[in-house]
């Protein structure tokens, strides 16, 4: 969404002087929190401005996807990989599926929108009237807001069908935060590269589809051969999906070792993406 309507005093926005710092991505947020909040608000509002249902689409869209995929994979195809048998009813499978679909929807929105974040705001880039590092980050937080609504719907459905909510559900933010941090790094990287390679916007849509079927969205990872499991674990969706299902649906704590490794990788990806963006930003105005 173009945010050219945002009026900012250029002198009030602090340009980053911490490119090589490992804390660079977090310092830029710390220095400009109000600007980031305002940009996120406009990002969220722009998705539903002029639509009849408005914010209700954030609830309706995941529910419609859930209904379609539950019908296809829970009744018509009944994949053995998901163990849809006498011990796994359709409601359980729907919640199992919903956890994966919500997180994939978040990833898909981030990577498909990121290549156009800078290109969609040429006036701001050329005038340097705000901390441009916040543009991709605002897009990520906007997508995370939509995903959070979907997760709230999932919680309501789970409580309505099971009558209870495990205490481990409190650990859900801890499981999902590294995923959001990693996607922020991916967004920084794609938004920077997208300025120079315009075709990347077409590639990311294909990537989103590939990651959907190469992640444990429709099946349980335990049913895969050992060699395939190693490949699936390379998917950035795998650890968050498995962790979310454990803490929300199974009432079990996350696998701490895997979550720790994933968190370390997320911080590295975030720093690399931020570093690439800040290094490239000085040439954005010339290219655009």
pLDDT tens column, 238-254:
999 999 999 998 999 99
**Residue-wise burial string across 139-153, b where 16 or more C-beta atoms lie within 10 A, e elsewhere:** bbbbbbbbbebbbeb
Confidence of residue 88 (pLDDT cuts 50, 70, 90): low
For residue 141, give both structure tokens.
Answer: 């937080």
Query: Which H helix or E strand runs over 240?
Result: helix 238-245
Please report whether residue 186 resides in a domain: yes
Which of 41-55, 140-154, 182-196, 217-231 shows the lowest mean pLDDT across its residues?
A: 41-55
From residue 37, give the alpha-carbon distance in Å to each of 17, 41, 134, 221, 245.
22, 6, 10, 38, 30
Please report whether residue 169 resides in a domain: yes
Q: Would the pLDDT of 173 be above 80? A: yes
The boundaries of the domain holding residue 125 are 55-66+87-287
* Residue 39, CB-side half-sphere exposure with 13 Å CA sphere: 28
The answer for residues whose C-beta is within 8 angstroms of residue 287's C-beta and 6 or more apart is 195, 196
- Rounded to 5 degrees, what are φ and ψ at 95? -70, -40
- pLDDT at position 6 is 42
Confidence of residue 2 (pLDDT cuts 50, 70, 90): very low
Please report whether residue 8 resides in a domain: no
pLDDT tens column, 189-236:
999 999 998 889 889 999 999 999 999 988 888 888 888 888 999 999
From residue 103, give the alpha-carbon distance in Å to each of 146, 217, 225.
10, 9, 24
- pLDDT at position 238 is 96
Please report whether residue 24 resides in a domain: no
Confidence of residue 269 (pLDDT cuts 50, 70, 90): very high
Q: How many beta carbons lie within 10 A of that of residue 218, not counting itself?
A: 20
From residue 88, give the alpha-carbon distance in Å to each of 42, 82, 93, 95, 168.
42, 9, 7, 11, 22
Please report whether residue 249 resides in a domain: yes
Angle subtended at Cα 147 by Cα 231 and Cα 106, rounded to the nearest 5 degrees: 40
Instruction: Between 82 and 168, name the one with better pLDDT.
Output: 168
User: Are 200 and 115 a contacting pair, CB within 8 Å?
Assistant: yes
Instruction: Between 33 and 24, name the one with better pLDDT.
Output: 33
Q: How does DSSP assign 61-105, residue by residue?
A: HHHHHHHHHHHIIIIIS--GGGT-STTS-HHHHHHHHHHHHHHHH
User: Are 24 and 275 a contacting pair, CB within 8 Å?
Assistant: yes
Confidence of residue 48 (pLDDT cuts 50, 70, 90): low
Please report whether residue 238 resides in a domain: yes
Please report whether residue 41 resides in a domain: no
User: Are 138 and 40 a contacting pair, CB within 8 Å?
Assistant: yes
**Count of domains for the chain:** 1
Please report whether residue 39 resides in a domain: no
Q: Would the pLDDT of 142 be above 70? A: yes
**Residue 246 DSSP symbol:** I
pTM of this structure: 0.82
Q: Would the pLDDT of 55 be above 70? A: no
């Amino acid at each position: 969404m173009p945010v050219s309507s945002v009026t900012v005093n250029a002198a009030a926005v602090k340009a980053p002087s911490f490119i090589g710092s490992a804390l660079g991505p977090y310092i830029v947020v710390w220095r400009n929190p109000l600007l980031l909040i305002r940009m996120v608000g406009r990002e969220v509002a722009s998705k539903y401005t002029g639509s009849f249902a408005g914010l209700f689409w954030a609830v309706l869209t995941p529910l419609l996807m859930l209904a379609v995929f539950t019908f296809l994979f829970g009744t018509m195809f009944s994949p053995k990989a998901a163990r849809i048998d006498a011990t796994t009813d359709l409601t359980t499978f729907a919640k199992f599926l919903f956890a994966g679909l919500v997180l994939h929807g978040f990833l898909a929105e981030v990577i498909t929108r990121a290549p156009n974040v800078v290109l969609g705001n040429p006036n701001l880039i050329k005038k340097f009237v705000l901390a441009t590092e916040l543009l991709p980050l605002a897009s990520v937080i906007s997508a995370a807001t939509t995903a959070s609504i979907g997760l709230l719907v999932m919680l309501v459905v789970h409580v309505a069908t099971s009558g209870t909510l495990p205490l481990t559900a409190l650990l859900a933010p801890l499981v999902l935060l590294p995923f959001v941090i990693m996607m922020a790094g991916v967004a920084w990287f794609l938004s920077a590269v997208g300025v120079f390679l315009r075709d990347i916007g077409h590639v990311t849509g294909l990537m989103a589809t590939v990651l959907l079927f190469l992640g444990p969205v429709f099946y349980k990872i335990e049913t895969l051969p050992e060699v395939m499991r190693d490949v699936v674990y390379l998917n950035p969706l795998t650890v968050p999906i498995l962790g979310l299902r454990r803490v929300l649906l199974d009432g079990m704590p996350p696998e701490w070792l895997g979550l720790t490794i994933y968190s370390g990788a997320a911080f590295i990806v975030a720093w690399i993406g931020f570093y690439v963006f800040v290094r490239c930003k000085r040439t954005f105005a010339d290219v655009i």
